[in-house]
């Protein structure tokens, strides 16, 4: 699937075939010779944007589904889209191969109010030691002849799902701050992959770029659990009109921590 695809209420969505979801959302990465272990905002209510002349503009959301390459779950995308449309969002969906370095680069300028990152992510490691930040997978195969200057500047990494698997580009906090075009506009960002809020560094980069709040896991998480929890979270944020803190509390009370890794959802800033 190529190009931007916007879903409207009642539209028919083309999905990848269903497949069994396996394992946690973590995999090894490398950044300019640095080895990585990879895994994946709402203050107040989500509402329409108002321009300076008082005209209300439509709300927009995007589902960034890099996991569709390895952990496809069309049911999640369908449910999330339905919930968003019920809350009067226009919804864009990008599948794995569309989630490129350039896609991330342009993400702030696209004007989304809510961004759902169903993306492999994880703590970066250098010589076996954590670097203190999380790197996000792209779906773009790694090529040392592409994005050369950003690679040399260590704004991009090299990611793989397991030893010997193909490598993909990954993005790091400095890429968010230095290479992303434009700014987010009080955007809510949900990082569904591993380790999103094990440290604050990547979430902080999003906030420095204009996001309002970032929601993510404090460690490893399985695809099954993050899909289930994010559906509940969206129901509370979009239809229940709870604050981020209230929505997270209710979601955790209903689905609990990840049963395999005992991880929970957090938010940044914590307010």
Question: Which regions of 142-210 does DSSP assign to beta strands (E)?
Answer: 156-160, 167-171, 188-191
- pLDDT above 70: residue 41: no
Residue 173 falls within a domain, yes or no?
A: yes
The pLDDT tens digits of the residues spanning 174-206 come to 999 999 999 999 999 999 999 999 999 999 999
Q: Are 114 and 61 contacting, i.e. CB atoms less than 8 angstroms apart?
A: yes
**Mean pLDDT score, 46-57:** 50
Residue 209 falls within a domain, yes or no?
A: yes
Residue 93 falls within a domain, yes or no?
A: yes
Question: Tokens 């889209």 map to which residue?
Answer: 81
Residue 17 falls within a domain, yes or no?
A: no
d(CA 193, CA 23) in angstroms, rounded, equals 12
Residue 208 falls within a domain, yes or no?
A: yes
**Mean pLDDT score, 232-236:** 98
pTM above 0.85, yes or no: no
d(CA 29, CA 39) in angstroms, rounded, equals 10
- Domain count along the chain: 1
State the CATH number of the domain containing residue 148.
3.40.50
- Could you tell me the residue range of the domain that residue 186 belongs to? 24-47+57-268
Residue 7 falls within a domain, yes or no?
A: no
The pLDDT tens digits of the residues spanning 61-88 come to 999 999 999 999 999 999 999 999 999 9
Q: Are 33 and 110 contacting, i.e. CB atoms less than 8 angstroms apart?
A: no
Residue 16 falls within a domain, yes or no?
A: no
Helical ranges in 87-196 per DSSP H: 101-106, 148-152, 173-178
Residue 2 falls within a domain, yes or no?
A: no
């Amino acid at each position: 699937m190529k190009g931007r695809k916007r879903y409207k209420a009642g539209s028919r969505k083309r999905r990848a075939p269903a497949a069994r979801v396996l394992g946690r959302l973590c995999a090894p990465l490398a950044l300019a010779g640095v080895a990585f272990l990879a895994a994946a905002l709402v203050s107040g209510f989500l509402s329409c944007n108002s321009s300076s002349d008082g005209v209300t503009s439509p709300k927009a959301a995007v589902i960034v589904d890099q996991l569709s390459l390895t952990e496809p779950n069309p049911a999640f995308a369908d449910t999330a889209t339905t919930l968003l449309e019920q809350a009067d969002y226009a919804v864009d969906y990008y599948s794995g191969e569309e989630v490129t370095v350039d896609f991330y680069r342009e993400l702030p300028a696209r004007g989304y109010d809510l961004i759902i990152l169903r993306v492999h992510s994880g703590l970066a490691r250098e010589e076996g030691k954590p670097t203190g930040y999380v790197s996000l997978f792209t779906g773009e195969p790694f090529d040392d002849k592409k994005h050369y200057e950003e690679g040399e500047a260590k704004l991009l990494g090299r990611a793989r799902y397991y030893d010997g698997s193909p490598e993909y580009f990954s993005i790091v906090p400095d890429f968010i701050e230095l290479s992303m075009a434009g700014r987010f506009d009080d955007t809510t960002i949900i990082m569904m992959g591993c380790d999103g809020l094990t440290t604050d560094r990547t979430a902080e980069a999003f906030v420095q770029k204009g996001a309002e709040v970032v929601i993510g896991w404090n460690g490893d998480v399985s695809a099954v659990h993050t899909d289930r929890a994010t559906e509940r979270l969206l129901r509370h944020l979009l239809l229940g009109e709870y604050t981020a803190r209230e929505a997270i509390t209710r979601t955790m009370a209903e689905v609990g921590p990840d049963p395999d890794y005992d991880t929970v959802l957090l938010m940044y800033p914590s307010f």
